Every structure is written in C-alpha cells, then in structure tokens.
Amino acid sequence: MILIDGLYINKGGGAVLLQYLVEQVRLQERKDDFFFLLDPRFSIPASLPASHYTIVPNKMSARKQFYQQTGSRYTKVFCFANTPPPIRLKVPVYTYFHNQKLLEAPHRRFEKAFWKLYAKYLVVKLFNRNTDYYIVQTPHMVEEMMKLKLKDAAHCLTIPFYDTGKYAGAHTPFQERPVDHFAFVSTPSPQKNYPTLLDAWEHLHTLGHTPGLHITIDDTAPHLLARLEAMKAKGIQVFNYNYIDPRDLYFKYRYLVCPSIMESFGLPLIESVESGMKVLAPELDYVYDVIKPSITFDPWKKESIADAVIKALSTDLPYPEIRAKNEVDMLIGLLVN
C-alpha cells in the first residue's frame, strides 16, 4: 500500500494540485494500492472511495499517532505538504516541497512577518532525516534547498506537475478581447507584491494612461481595499473581485500582469498562457522555470511595471511559451515502481 499524506493541505494551489493528483491516481490500473491521509478542511473528490482515505485532525500529535499506528502498512510514503513524517519509517519516503516562503524564512527569521514561517521551517528541519527525498517543481527550488543543506542534489528530485490543458480551449480569441485590460488573480500575500502593482497603476494615471486592472484582493488586506477605493475616486480603473474563478478573467482579457516576487511554481503563469493571454512578468528565475514571458520588468520598481504596460499597449508583444512539463505520470510511476 502506498500512502499519500495530504494533511495540512486544504486550500490554494496546494489543494488544486492534490485534487489533480487524486484524480490521476484514480485513473491508474493500480489505483487501489493508494491510500490518502487528508485534512478535515480538504474538499474530497467524488472519485475517491471512502475506503481509500482517512481524515485526522491537522495537528502534529494526531499525525504522529497515525504514523505510529499504521506506518508499518505502507511500502512507500509521499508527504504532500512540505513536512516529512514525524517518525522514521523503514520504507522509501518522498516529501513534496512546494512552499518557497519556508525556504526564505531562515534568512529573514528576525522579521515579524516570518516568525511563524520560521517556526514551520524548524519543524521541517527537525523531521528532515525522516524523508529520503524531496520532490520540487523547479530547478530553482533545488538550489534553495541545497543552500539550506536540507538535502544534496541527488536527493532533490525535480518533477513538476499540473493539470495540463485545464485552461486551454474555449476562450475568446486574443484579438477580440479589450485592448487595454490587464488581470492578476491572487491572494494579497506579501510576496504577491500588490502594493507595487497599485503604485504602477497610479504612476500610469499620472502619465495619462488609464488601462483597466482586474484583481482579487480579499478581506484579509483591508488596507489594500481602502487604497482601491481611493484610487477609484481619482478615476483609476481598478476592478476588484475578492474571489473569482480565474477563467472568468483569463478567458476575457488580453494580458496577465504578475508582480509576484516569489513563487515555488508559477502555476498562474502557465494557466494564463493556456488561456490565450500575453504575459508581463518579473525578471526572476521562477518565471523562466515555467514560461518564456512576453515581456519582463523589475518587480520592485513601479516605473518598470508601468513601462512594460505601456509597451504592451503600444507594440505587438510576442505570445509567451510554456517551458515546464507536466510530469504527473513520472511522479505516480516513482511511487508505484
């Protein structure tokens, strides 16, 4: 029996990937060889029979008890949420590491915003010996893990996977979309860099440009919501949806403008390319790990973002290209064989 430990995964990109992995496992000939440990908040796919998963509280003590009681049943273990098992097992263990912020935390542990992340990193460090391999989505993540000496290169496997083609197909052709509207779909986490993006839109307004910006800032960032209202009062075209299916924006508008300064795997970049958008993105390694963008900018400078927007409006930018491959079959084969 192969265990996929999805405890602590309940929302966001991690939940999307776990949902996809469950669906792909259920298509396999040996689908009944897989068992899932799931978080109480995770939305369980209908294709997963109740006999093939269990739910335990998302607490370290409950996870440890689960492994102590059942760990000997499994031939391989795949932990999905950054953290290796709390005990050492006698079978191969792989841990999927998808949160670059945890790798950034040791370098910024004295900053208040990183205290909780650093505590989580210390848990990873504590259990590090309990995993044989880390699996990551990009070469950049391998480099970051090696800097912290979690594992050497031979024990960091780059196996990107995502729902190929999920956003391809029935979308409005590029030339039929509004000529001056841009979108960015993301939560307002600090690394997403919303303040600089809004700075750029205010700067564009002072230069006489009024492109539309469609974003998704929720109630966790009231200071940004207040700023949006002030920008609208000045006549700046900003449209906030709090939450929306990305396809409602990706299929409708021409450009993705992504100011994020840190991503473990730039899935929105891939989704926007599949949706027929052109992409304005930072000149950062994580971008080139997954796509070749239409144009790049310095994400720390509002003027650079604004210049890229103006170029998009005044020139025919090239279409972006997807570089990352979906290796979900390789991942499942690794666990099965």
Check residue 170 and give its pLDDT.
Answer: 67
Residues 84 and 231 in one domain: no
Residues 152 and 193 in one domain: no
Per-residue pLDDT of the chain in tens (337 residues, 90 and over written 9):
999 999 999 877 788 889 999 999 999 999 999 999 999 999 999 999 999 999 999 999 999 999 999 999 999 999 998 999 999 999 999 999 988 889 989 998 998 888 999 999 999 999 999 999 999 998 889 999 999 999 999 999 999 998 877 787 768 899 999 999 999 999 898 899 999 999 999 999 999 999 999 999 999 999 999 999 999 999 999 999 988 989 999 999 999 999 999 887 888 999 999 999 999 999 999 999 999 999 999 999 999 999 999 999 999 999 999 999 999 999 999 999 8
Residue 33 lies in a domain: yes
Check residue 171 and give its pLDDT.
Answer: 80
Residues 185 and 116 in one domain: no
**Which of 252, 52, 59, 67 is CA-nearest to residue 167?**
252
Looking at residue 78, the DSSP 8-state letter turns out to be: E
Residue 335 lies in a domain: no
Tokens coding 92: 């191969």
Residues 213 and 312 in one domain: yes
Check residue 99 and give its pLDDT.
Answer: 87
Asked if 204 and 309 count as a contact pair (C-beta separation under 8 A), the reply is yes
What SS3 state is found at 17?
Answer: helix
User: Rounded to an integer, what is the distance from CA 325 to the centroid of its chain?
Assistant: 15
| CA dihedral of residues 254, 260, 264, 265 (deg, nearest 10) | 10
Tokens coding 242: 């709090």
Please say whether the dihedral angle defined by the alpha carbons of residues 164, 248, 255 and 176, taken in this order, is positive or negative.
positive
Residues 75 and 189 in one domain: no
Check residue 213 and give its pLDDT.
Answer: 98
What is the domain extent for residue 241?
A: 174-322
Tokens coding 272: 């926007």
Residues 241 and 312 in one domain: yes
The CATH number for 283's domain is 3.40.50.2000
Query: What is the number of other CB atoms lying within 10 angstroms of the CB of residue 53?
Result: 18
Residues 9 and 67 in one domain: yes
Alpha-carbon distance of 171 to 177, in angstroms, equals 10
Residue 282 lies in a domain: yes
Tally of domains in the chain:
2
